[in-house]
């Protein structure tokens, strides 16, 4: 039984066709085969959230997903958040303006989780924001600036 | 005394958006694991399953045969080739510990590295690790420092006569006399559990031979690149300047990445031997056992007070479980010496005595972590003060006010020989209690009690010595003295400014802070200033980012260098404008006459200076690169007062923080939003210490907290919204800056611990072991048998 | 933390999967959501020789709600359940408990059947299946069989699957009208494994408790079905005056019956105490929801 498989996967809008070891995680595939190192590994057991990406529109832990499971899927990582003309995603801009990152290691997962939250709940309370983010560990910021950033984006969205 | 400083457009004091954050928010950071060099070999370590054992044999033959395995390195192969880590001697040293990079003969803690496997991929290296057969001969385990100090205890290091890695006694003033004369003597015992920094990014390195002009280049997720370079040179037999150390983007440091560890040095050795890049990324399971732990104290203390609650004396007995080796660089002295020596904090303690011990055990070594011994010391002392307040029926805030070093009393030399000055202890407390409406909090507490709810209020005041200069040691008696760092300012050929310093950032926005200071000192636009900070090849000597020092050192050195650079710029600019030098100034990157009649841009001046040097007299064109060292000599005291209200659920023991008010004195603030982030981040870690985080071992030295499902750090639901206020006063250092990275974790652990104890005291309960887990809370309430 | 090597199969039908499982032997794991299994693989706690990924089997990604029951195929994710208004309305206990499962990203991949098969004593899903009187549908070379929850859940982290078998669905009977339910849990942080939890269903008609189901989470072996507590409540009058005593007695039975283990988060004592607190709170909440309080 070969322990490699060919996969075709779209990442940040670009199609890839690669042969990968079956035991390779989606996180390692993105980072090492596609050189998209913006997605980070903090624990490799699903707890810290730094590796969170969107897979077919839903947030998933890329450290708990095998690359071969992404066959045919559409993946979005932090590098794919900017618009085609290069402008930052409003959530990225809000994180920057609200000082919502310090070391930056948790930021990729935080952004993805926050973006999914506002897609499903466009006008969350502060408590709802904190609940949604409670699966993403930040060791630097104490979360306040991150929560401020998410609420700022929600307000912008509400303002149209 | 410096001359009048020129200050331009006040970038300092504004929340300038940090350009350095842009790559991070866009996903283009370069952390250690992001570095991928062609031909890299990957390392995995075989780690000890036993806390204490003789290594009868290590058989790596099957591992070596696995396809994709390049080499398996054992400790015996390194013997004689490299120098093991001998603990940094300390004036009050106990035994010396010798740490081999890979275990030879014996392993002394679970997780100690025994073999290094080098392979084509990390996965293959881990496969090979599983094939290595080790024959362990288990030895008796030392798992408790108070057992470990007994004469009949097994020895962690049989070259030592006992397990003390450090022991110190100190007395100033007549403590016994004070105890006799006191109106009241209060005694308490506390246990502060073991922690770890839990950086979201674990450690790691890439070591490469001849990657550039340097014989050895090492990228290391580390806080102190120059120090690493020094020791790499020393231990590998290279000239220091053949080595280049670069700290890439670093995902948290907090002191854990400020020690020297064997693994990275093994990788450097392998890179030289194999002449291929060698990469090691510490995974989380490794990090839980291989990176330094922190705290882990048993504290017994007594305070003597007079009738009004004024402190007369403080006496403490401290045992720290420092693990199996004296951490290389800082020694096992850090926690024991700081917990004891810094316990008085911001309070007047006329007489002080302590006996402190760092006892070796068969556990992961203990090293520096944010604020080191101060949180535990402060929490114990504040809990003791609350007990004094209860016994004397004095309000806890009032009691603190009576004992804090008042501004009028400064400079004040405390019994631990530290001189307090330029710091606002009382104003911080006053502001916290007024903004928090302390009286109303107490009323609400009474109402809650009437409704059967347990509300607790805690207040803590801390002193935090930051930016330590050469006359103040990081730990009393340590020989390693940081205290002088350099900054280079260089005007480039196009008139932009480079600020270079070896003060790497783990998110503190040091680059932004130094740019702000440089902009003000030089009159150069912020956008025209770039800062480089992390590379020994491009930055002048700096000790590194540690002990809340970068604001003081980086900014101070910028100010010194800027003074000289500005003079040179104006002299050259004046010549080019044909006016006397007194008639010119510089603002917004333009040198102009005071009447604004004539001007020349910095760009034009620089181009002329570099490319048309023949047109300018040599004495007016000496080059625009200035390197200045700065030593603030002493430290700068920062301060804070945290006021916390908690609700305790008497059925589950759950503690919820319902109000958090913090006032801090962090001196002159460079970037308010950055400072706020640092303070709140420190508070979050303090919440973790107070309520959630604990590394647990069993009696056989086996770690029981091995994943992030076991070791719990605060989530976004565990940190409340913090009400942050400032009562700043400038320090005596250049620029009036103070460090602000560590104080808030002290305030948080102390105030929350006091609040929980206050809640329990309403039902006659108590708690003395922390973190205040729900179970300990219930035991303290008597709901579960055992008492806390 | 890279997993050891394995042979990987991604069958497209249950038949194909069962075939692969039959050949694979004992050293084989089924991969559904992977939120429990992948951490174990990454930590090398388990290193199966064969991994059978069932995520390509479309027939397993099905939710079927009828008057009689709710059937969730093996690929139904916790998040799907939370997003389904029929389930929230018809099986509120299931929805309430599922909200406690970990965090959004975990719920997006993790499956209800996977959680039940894994049978971690601190997990919510196994206890809900027990409380609702559900069954597990199993496929193997010999065909399909259906086991009641308590027969399927054989002990800590174990189930009744034979080699070559896999779970294809779970089925929950529809609660009878007049049933109110509650799930409460105590964990160190939101989304962590429960230190203890309780699931309660009360069917109260004309002030009499016709049926009571009480299951306690986190008690050592798997879901603790509190038969004796249920016996105390069944047939008893439950109104504002009598409920307190009845619940106290039921809770006492729970405390006497559970045999929790200790771990780094809680001692056995504390877990037993929490079992009482959680049961009491769940009973009270279910009672209030019935309108009886």
Residue B671 has pLDDT above 70, yes or no: yes
| Mean pLDDT score across all residues of chain B | 95
How far does B771 lie from chain C, in Å, by closest CA?
12
User: Do B283 and C186 count as a contact with CB atoms less than 8 A apart?
Assistant: no
Read off the tokens for B251. 């995902």
User: Do B716 and A37 count as a contact with CB atoms less than 8 A apart?
Assistant: no
Nearest CA in chain A to B678: A141
Q: Which of A155, A136, A11, A131 is nearest to A70 (CA)?
A: A11
Read off the tokens for C92. 């509120």
Residues A114 and A138 in one domain: yes
What CATH number is attached to the domain comprising A30?
3.10.20.30
Residues of A in contact with C190 (CB under 8 A): 131, 134
Chains linked to B by 3 or more Cβ pairs within 8 Å? A, C
Residue C250: the pLDDT is: 98
Q: What is the CA radius of gyration of chain A?
A: 16
Residue B9 has pLDDT above 70, yes or no: no
Interacting residues of A90 by C-beta distance below 8 A, sequence separation 6+: A153, A156, A157
User: Touching check for C262 and chain B: CB below 8 Å?
Assistant: no
Q: How far apart are CA B110 and CA A139, in angstroms?
A: 26
The residue among A1, A8, A61 with the most chain C CBs within 10 A of its CB, best to mutate, is: A61
Residues of B in contact with C197 (CB under 8 A): none
Backbone angles phi, psi at B26, to 5 degrees: -95, -5
Read off the tokens for B481. 């003295």
Q: Which of C104, C117, C141 is nearest to C222 (CA)?
A: C117
What totals of helices (H) and strands (E) does chain C contain, helices first? 12, 14
User: Do B127 and C5 count as a contact with CB atoms less than 8 A apart?
Assistant: yes
- Domain extent, residue A35, equals 4-80
Residues A16 and A72 in one domain: yes
* DSSP line for B540-583: -----S-TT-HHHHHHHHHHHHHHHHHHHHHHHHHHHHTS-GGG
Quote the Cα angle for B272-B276-B282, to 5°.
85
Chains linked to C by 3 or more Cβ pairs within 8 Å? A, B
pLDDT cut 70: percent of chain B above it: 97
Residues A40 and A60 in one domain: yes
Considering the domain boundaries, does residue A129 fall inside one?
Answer: yes
Q: With bands split at pLDDT 50, 70 and 90, how would you rate the model's confidence at B95?
A: confident
Q: Which of A32, A59, A80 is the last residue of a domain?
A: A80
Using one digit for the tens of pLDDT, what is the confidence trace for C264-293? 999 999 999 999 999 999 999 999 999 975
Residues of A in contact with C102 (CB under 8 A): 135
In order of start, what are the domains of chain B with their CATH numbers? 19-30+484-630 (3.30.365.10), 32-139+198-290 (3.90.1170.50), 293-472+633-780 (3.30.365.10)
Residue B786 has pLDDT above 90, yes or no: no
User: Do C1 and B285 count as a contact with CB atoms less than 8 A apart?
Assistant: yes
ipTM for the whole complex: 0.98
Residues A61 and A116 in one domain: no
Number of C-alpha atoms within 13 angstroms, CB side, residue B278? Answer: 26
Residues A72 and A23 in one domain: yes
User: Do B251 and A105 count as a contact with CB atoms less than 8 A apart?
Assistant: yes
Q: Which of A22, A50, A80 is the last residue of a domain?
A: A80
Considering the domain boundaries, does residue A26 fall inside one?
Answer: yes
E strand or H helix at B54, and its extent?
strand B53-59
Read off the tokens for B61. 């033959």
User: Do A61 and C79 count as a contact with CB atoms less than 8 A apart?
Assistant: no
Residue B5: the pLDDT is: 53
Strand order in the sheet with A52-55: A14-21, A4-11, A74-76, A52-55, A58-61
Nearest CA in chain A to B711: A47
What pTM does this model have? 0.97
User: Do C104 and A65 count as a contact with CB atoms less than 8 A apart?
Assistant: no
Q: Which of A29, A46, A80 is the last residue of a domain?
A: A80
User: Do A37 and B33 count as a contact with CB atoms less than 8 A apart?
Assistant: yes
Residues of A in contact with C39 (CB under 8 A): 44-46, 64
Which has the minimum average pLDDT: A51-60, B18-27, B91-100, B328-337?
A: B91-100
Considering the domain boundaries, does residue A16 fall inside one?
Answer: yes
User: Do B15 and A99 count as a contact with CB atoms less than 8 A apart?
Assistant: yes
Backbone angles phi, psi at A99, to 5 degrees: 55, 40
- How many CB atoms sit inside 10 A of residue C125's CB? 29
Residues A76 and A95 in one domain: no
Residues A97 and A62 in one domain: no
Residue A48: the pLDDT is: 98
Q: With bands split at pLDDT 50, 70 and 90, how would you rate the model's confidence at B1?
A: very low
- How many CB atoms sit inside 10 A of residue B293's CB? 27
User: Do C109 and A64 count as a contact with CB atoms less than 8 A apart?
Assistant: yes
| Mean pLDDT score across all residues of chain C | 96
Residue A159: the pLDDT is: 66
Q: How far apart are CA A142 and CA B372, in angstroms?
A: 19
Residue B787 has pLDDT above 70, yes or no: no
Burial environment of residue B640 by CB neighbours within 10 A (0 to 12, 13 to 18, 19 or more):
buried
User: Touching check for A128 and chain B: CB below 8 Å?
Assistant: no
* DSSP line for B100-145: -SS--SEE-STT-EEEEEEESSHHHHHHHHTT-EEEEEE------H
Number of domains composing chain A? 2
Residues A45 and A15 in one domain: yes
Residues A144 and A98 in one domain: yes
Residue B481: the pLDDT is: 76
Considering the domain boundaries, does residue A85 fall inside one?
Answer: no
Residue A90 has pLDDT above 70, yes or no: yes
Cross-chain CB nearest to C39 (options A45, A69, A113)? A45
Residues of B in contact with A136 (CB under 8 A): 715-716
Residue B4 has pLDDT above 60, yes or no: no
Residue B3: the pLDDT is: 43
Residues of C in contact with B194 (CB under 8 A): none
Residue B7: the pLDDT is: 55
Per-residue pLDDT averaged across C32-56, rounded? 98
Residues A52 and A116 in one domain: no
User: Do A88 and B25 count as a contact with CB atoms less than 8 A apart?
Assistant: yes
What CATH number is attached to the domain comprising A131?
1.10.150.120
Considering the domain boundaries, does residue A67 fall inside one?
Answer: yes
Interacting residues of B430 by C-beta distance below 8 A, sequence separation 6+: B727
Using one digit for the tens of pLDDT, what is the confidence trace for B331-378? 899 999 999 999 999 999 999 999 999 999 999 999 999 999 999 999
Read off the tokens for C63. 């939710």
The residue among A8, A22, A50 with the most chain C CBs within 10 A of its CB, best to mutate, is: A22
pLDDT cut 70: percent of chain A above it: 98
Residues A44 and A101 in one domain: no
| Mean pLDDT score across all residues of chain A | 97
Residues of C in contact with A1 (CB under 8 A): 7-8
User: Do A45 and B249 count as a contact with CB atoms less than 8 A apart?
Assistant: no
Residues A59 and A112 in one domain: no
């Amino acid at each position: 039984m070969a322990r490699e498989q060919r996969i075709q996967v779209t990442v940040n809008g670009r199609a890839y066709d690669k042969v990968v070891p079956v035991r390779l995680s989606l996180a390692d595939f993105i980072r090492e085969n596609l050189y998209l190192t913006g997605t980070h590994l903090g624990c490799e057991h699903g707890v810290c959230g730094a590796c969170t990406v969107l897979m077919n529109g839903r947030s998933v832990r890329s450290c708990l997903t095998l690359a071969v499971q992404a066959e045919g899927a559409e993946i979005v990582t932090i590098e794919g958040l900017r618009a085609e003309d290069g402008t930052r995603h409003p959530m990225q801009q809000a994180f920057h303006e609200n000082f919502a990152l310090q070391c930056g290691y948790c930021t990729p997962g935080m952004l993805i989780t926050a973006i999914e939250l506002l897609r499903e709940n466009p006008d969350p309370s502060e408590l709802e924001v904190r609940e949604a983010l409670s699966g993403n560990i930040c060791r630097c910021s104490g979360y306040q600036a991150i929560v401020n950033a998410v609420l700022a984006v929600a307000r912008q969205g509400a303002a149209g | 005394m410096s001359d009048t400083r020129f200050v331009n457009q006040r970038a300092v004091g504004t929340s300038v958006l940090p350009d350095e954050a842009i790559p991070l928010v866009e996903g283009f950071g370069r952390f250690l694991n992001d570095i991928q060099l062609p031909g890299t070999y990957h390392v995995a370590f075989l780690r000890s399953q036993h806390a204490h054992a003789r290594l009868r044999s290590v058989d790596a033959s099957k591992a070596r045969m696995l396809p994709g395995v390049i080499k398996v390195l054992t400790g015996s192969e390194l013997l004689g080739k490299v120098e093991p880590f001998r603990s940094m001697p300390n004036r009050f040293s106990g035994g010396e510990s010798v740490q081999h990079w890979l275990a030879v003969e014996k392993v002394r803690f679970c997780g100690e590295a025994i073999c290094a496997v080098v392979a084509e991929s990390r996965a293959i290296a881990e496969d090979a690790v599983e094939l290595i057969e080790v024959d362990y001969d288990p030895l008796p385990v030392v798992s408790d420092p108070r057992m470990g100090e007994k004469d009949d205890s097994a020895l962690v290091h049989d070259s030592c006569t006992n397990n003390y890695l450090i022991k110190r006694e100190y007395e100033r003033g007549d403590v016994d006399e004070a105890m006799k004369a006191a109106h009241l003597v209060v005694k308490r015992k506390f246990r502060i559990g073991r922690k770890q920094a839990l950086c979201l990014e674990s450690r790691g390195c890439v070591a490469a031979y001849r990657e550039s002009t340097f014989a050895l280049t090492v990228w290391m997720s580390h806080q102190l690149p120059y120090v690493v370079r020094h020791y790499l040179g020393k231990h590998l037999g290279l000239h220091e300047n053949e080595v280049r150390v670069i700290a890439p983007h670093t995902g948290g440091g907090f002191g854990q990445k400020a020690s020297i560890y064997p693994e990275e040095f093994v990788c450097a050795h392998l890179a030289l031997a194999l002449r291929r890049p060698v990469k090691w990324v510490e995974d989380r399971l490794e990090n839980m056992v291989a990176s330094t732990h922190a705290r882990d104290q048993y504290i017994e203390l007594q305070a003597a007070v007079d009738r009004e609650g004024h402190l007369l004396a403080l006496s403490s007995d401290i045992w720290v479980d420092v693990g199996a080796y004296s951490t290389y660089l800082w020694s096992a002295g850090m926690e024991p010496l700081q917990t004891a020596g810094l316990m008085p904090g911001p309070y007047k303690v006329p007489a002080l005595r302590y006996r402190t011990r760092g006892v070796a055990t068969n556990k992961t070594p203990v090293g520096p972590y944010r604020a080191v011994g101060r949180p535990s010391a402060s929490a114990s002392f504040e809990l003791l003060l609350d007990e004094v307040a209860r016994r004397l029926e004095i309000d806890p805030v009032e009691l603190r006010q009576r004992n804090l070093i008042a501004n009028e009393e400064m400079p004040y030399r405390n019994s631990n020989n530290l001189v307090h000055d330029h710091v606002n202890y009382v104003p911080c407390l006053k502001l916290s209690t007024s903004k928090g409406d302390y009286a109303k909090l107490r009323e609400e507490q009474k109402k809650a009690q009437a409704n059967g709810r347990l509300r607790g209020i805690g207040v803590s005041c801390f002193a935090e010595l930051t930016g330590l200069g050469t006359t103040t040691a990081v730990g009393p008696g340590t020989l390693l003295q940081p205290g002088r760092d350099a900054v280079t300012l260089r005007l480039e050929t196009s008139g932009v400014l480079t600020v270079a310093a070896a003060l790497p950032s783990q998110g503190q926005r040091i680059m932004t802070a130094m740019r702000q200071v440089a902009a003000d000192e030089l009159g150069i636009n912020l956008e025209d200033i770039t800062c480089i900070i992390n590379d020994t090849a491009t930055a002048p000597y700096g000790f590194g980012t540690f002990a809340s020092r970068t604001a003081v050192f980086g900014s101070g050195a910028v100010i010194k260098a800027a003074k000289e650079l500005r003079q040179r710029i104006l002299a050259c600019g004046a010549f080019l404008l044909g006016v006397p030098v007194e008639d010119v100034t510089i603002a917004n990157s333009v040198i102009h006459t005071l009447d604004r009649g004539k001007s020349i841009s910095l760009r034009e001046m620089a181009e002329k200076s570099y490319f048309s040097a023949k047109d300018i007299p040599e004495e007016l064109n000496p080059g625009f690169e200035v390197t200045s060292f700065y030593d603030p000599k002493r430290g700068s005291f920062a301060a804070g007062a945290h006021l916390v209200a908690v609700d305790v659920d008497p059925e589950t023991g759950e503690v919820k923080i319902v109000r958090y008010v913090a006032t801090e004195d962090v001196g002159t603030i460079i970037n308010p939003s950055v400072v706020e982030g640092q303070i709140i981040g420190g508070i979050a870690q303090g919440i973790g210490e107070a309520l959630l985080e604990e590394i647990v071992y069993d009696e056989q030295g086996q770690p029981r907290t091995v994943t992030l499902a076991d070791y719990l750090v605060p989530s976004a639901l565990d940190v409340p919204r913090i009400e942050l206020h400032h009562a700043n006063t400038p320090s005596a250092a250049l620029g009036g800056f103070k460090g602000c990275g560590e104080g808030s974790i002290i305030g948080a652990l102390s105030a929350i611990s006091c609040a929980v104890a206050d809640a329990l005291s309403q039902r006659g309960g108590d708690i003395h072991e922390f973190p205040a887990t729900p179970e300990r809370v219930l035991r303290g309430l008597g709901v579960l048998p055992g008492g806390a | 933390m890279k997993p050891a090597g394995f042979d990987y199969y991604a069958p497209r039908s249950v038949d194909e999967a069962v075939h692969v499982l039959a050949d694979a032997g004992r050293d084989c794991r089924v991969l559904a959501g992977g939120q429990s299994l992948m951490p174990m693989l990454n930590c090398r706690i388990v290193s199966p020789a064969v991994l059978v990924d069932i995520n390509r089997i479309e027939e397993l990604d099905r939710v079927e709600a009828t008057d009689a029951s709710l059937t969730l195929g093996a690929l139904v994710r916790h998040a799907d359940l939370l997003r389904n208004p029929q389930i929230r309305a018809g099986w509120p206990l299931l929805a309430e408990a599922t909200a406690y499962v970990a965090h959004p990203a975990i719920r997006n991949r993790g499956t209800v059947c996977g959680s039940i098969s894994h049978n971690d004593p601190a997990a919510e899903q196994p206890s809900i299946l027990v409380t609702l009187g559900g069954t597990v549908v199993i496929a193997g070379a010999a065909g399909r069989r259906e086991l009641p929850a308590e027969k399927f859940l054989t002990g800590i982290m174990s189930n009744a699957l034979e080699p070559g078998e896999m779970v294809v669905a779970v089925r929950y009977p529809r609660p009878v009208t007049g049933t109110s339910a509650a799930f409460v849990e105590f964990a160190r942080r939101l989304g962590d494994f429960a230190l203890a939890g309780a699931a309660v269903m009360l069917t109260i008609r004309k002030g009499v408790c016709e049926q009571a189901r009480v299951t306690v989470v986190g008690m050592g072996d798997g879901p603790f079905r509190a038969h004796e507590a249920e016996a105390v409540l069944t047939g008893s009058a439950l109104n504002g005056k009598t409920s307190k005593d009845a619940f106290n007695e039921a809770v006492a039975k729970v405390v006497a019956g559970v045999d929790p283990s200790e771990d780094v988060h809680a001692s056995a004592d504390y877990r037993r105490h929490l079992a009482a607190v959680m049961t009491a709170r769940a009973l009270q909440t279910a009672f209030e929801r019935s309108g009886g309080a």
